[in-house]
Structures are given as C-alpha cells and as structure tokens.
Structure 1
Amino acid sequence: MPRVLIIEDDAENRRLIAQLFARDDWKVLEAKDGDAGLELALRNRPELILCDLLMPKSNGFEVCRSIREQLQPAKIIVVSGRDYGVDRTSALEAGADEYLLKPITWELLSSTIDRLLPEIPRRPEPKSVTERESVPARVRLWGVRGSIPVPGKSTVRYGGNTSCVEVRADGEIIILDAGTGIRLLGLALDKEFGPRSMKLTLLISHTHWDHIQGLPF
C-alpha cells in the first residue's frame, strides 16, 4: 500500500484530502505543522508528500528543502492558495515536484500523481455519477422557500432547511438554490456515490439570503 503524508495546518482541508487518498487505497499520514511533517516523513519514508506553504513552525519552503536533503526519492506536491509566480518558482527551487492551487480536485491530483509516480498501481477510475444510466430521473425538495424551520437535531445548527431542490433528468444533476438544505443534499450525495466524480449544475434562482445561506456549510 503506497503511503502519502499530508502536511496541512487547516484541519478540515487535511481531513478532506485524507479521505480522498484513503478511498483510493493509500495509507495516509497527517501532520498539522512543518516540524511534525518532517518527523513523520523521515520516520515513515512515504512515496508522496503533500505540503502547504504557510504553516506554523517550519514553512513549506523549509519542509521541501529538508526533505530533498534527507529523503531524495519522495515526490513532493505543494498545495497552496497563493497564486504567485514567485511562490511557485521558490517552491520548485526548494525541491517540490509540482505546485497546485487550492481548491484541488481529485481528478487533477490523481493525474499529477500518475505522472510523478507511474510505478504505483492505481485503482480504475470510478465512473462519473452523471452517466445517463446511473442517474434515474427524480425531483426532491431538500428545503422550501422562506425560513421555515425543520424540527430535529439534524437541522438545529442551520435553523431549518431553506430553498434547495434537486432535479435529476437525462443524465444531469441540477440543484436549484443553495439554502441550508444543500448541506443535507451534499451529505446524501457523498453517501450515495462515494469517491465517484460528480458534475453538477447549481442555479441560484433568487439572491435573497434564504436561497444562498447553505453555501458556507
């Protein structure tokens, strides 16, 4: 089983990336800062390292330089939200093999890994959920217009579900509005389709707050 080390100080980003790798049969190691990442890298010698740039203690540039000096074979992908040419150039000069911008998709990350580590066997790519035969037609209301509360512990954090409608037809998944119901829709899609890629269309029919308040979640 190939090993990947994710060095990222944002716990939620780290968790999401770790889930993607775990679903693809990688052994995942995690570190919340540069120093902890270096320690894990030297102890476990992973084939692949994903590293943020701005982190507590050792930053991404320092991590790249140290790993290159002490762990030559490892491939390093810097994943950063900073779209500056100087950062990209400095990261590559420090020893990174690739520089990707956040947010990253699994498709982009997977193709990059295939290029950097062609010797690692990969699971066949799952079919897209938007293939016509895999998406039967349906309409489902995950929330309605107006701040109408929905009882129960599952929605108390969001104040109830507001406008969000899921439409599946002719191989398409279309979401109308992003009220708080979109949070439950997202969880349901993740449970239904797992790691398969999803091409969705999100349409905002109105710019009132109750049509968009689910986006932060």
Structure 2
Amino acid sequence: MRARPGQRSGEDLRGAAGARSADDRLPAAARELGLPSARLVADGLPYGDWLVAVFERWRSARPRETRVRLFNEIIRQLCGSPSRSESIGLAPVAVVVVETDGGIEQIDTLKSAYDGATRTPLHVLRNSFDEALFEPAIVARQIGRDALSETCLSCDLAGICGGGLYPHRYRSGSGFRNPSVYSRDLYRLITHIRSALREELAAPASRPSPAEA
C-alpha cells in the first residue's frame, strides 16, 4: 500500500479487505525530481505524520490485525537484528533481474530514478551471476555505510534508516550518494517507533509490545 497523506489510517482499509500482511511504501520520487505534491505542505511532514498515525493504529490493535513490513523491519533493527527489506536499513541487496532478452539488471525499483538505471553490460549467455557482484552499481548496494552520503553518516539513525530506499536518493551529478528525498519523514517515523518501543519495554509485562507483531 502506498502512503497517501490525508487518507484514513490504512489499517482500517486493509482490515476491511481481509489483508493479513502489507507494506507501506512511499511514492516514487528522487532528489532529482523532488517530492510528490503532498510534500509542498508548508513546514510539514505529511508522509511521516501519516505513517506515524498508521503505526499508532496498528500498534493499538488487539489482537494484531495486519503485519506491516516497514514497521516490523524498523522494530527488528531497533532490537539489534538486520533488515530484511531494501526499503530500510543497510542489508546488502542480493537480487538481480534477468530480462526477457537475457540481460542481467538491477531490481526494477531503480527504474523510477532515471532511464537505464537498472542496466548492466552483463548477459546470461556471456556472464555468470557471480560476475554481477563486481559491477560497480551493484557493489554500491553491498557496502552498507560506505555508500552513504556525509549527511547520512552524520545522522544518529544512519544504521536504521540506511539512507532510505535507493531510488529515492538519486540526483544527477552525485548519483545515489544523497539522503532520501523522504529523509525527514523517515526520521519522524523511526524516532516515533523508537520512543514507542521504549515505552512498551518499560510498561508492565501484561501489555504486548509492537515487537510481538
């Protein structure tokens, strides 16, 4: 489900549809193109605030109605485990795509950054998948903090956010070595979840924590 500020808390809509698992994704955007129009709200964090509202609705549900991957992965990392999602964290991306013409490319989410962002010179008839590990564009997604911008490295949440979804960082001239175009929204969400987790851990044992989702 894509984040749409102004929409009702997404948990209600997912529950009505009978969904047991969902992934709240921020809309396609990049430093190069700027943010979707909702971001033009003066001095606001519409996506961050919306996701916090969804988190609070999700957190308060007893029993838990839906697994929301973004929230679960943030909680996993705050508890010391690595992320299992490319949207958040510093875990290496271990996936390539074989196109119908045999070309070996990076994953399709990169297509929102610029034309040709997924392409490599590799082909299944000429190259092995091991060779893909030496392609500079793919290497950049395996090296964690070393691929982050100076701005990200100076952030106290760098290890949790991981710079955000890779396509959201693109800007011509500096490539993907930028903070996510949603960096402030992600900071808002992650710090809120961190505070909620601390509150839950300090509460009496009878109250389930969000980590039990």
Q: TM-score band, normalised by the shorter chain?
A: under 0.3
- What is the TM-score of this pair, normalised by structure 2? 0.25
Give the number of the structure whose residues are more often strand, by fraction.
1
Give the number of the structure whose residues are more often helix, by fraction.
2
The structure with higher relative contact order (CA 8 Å, sep 6+) is: 2
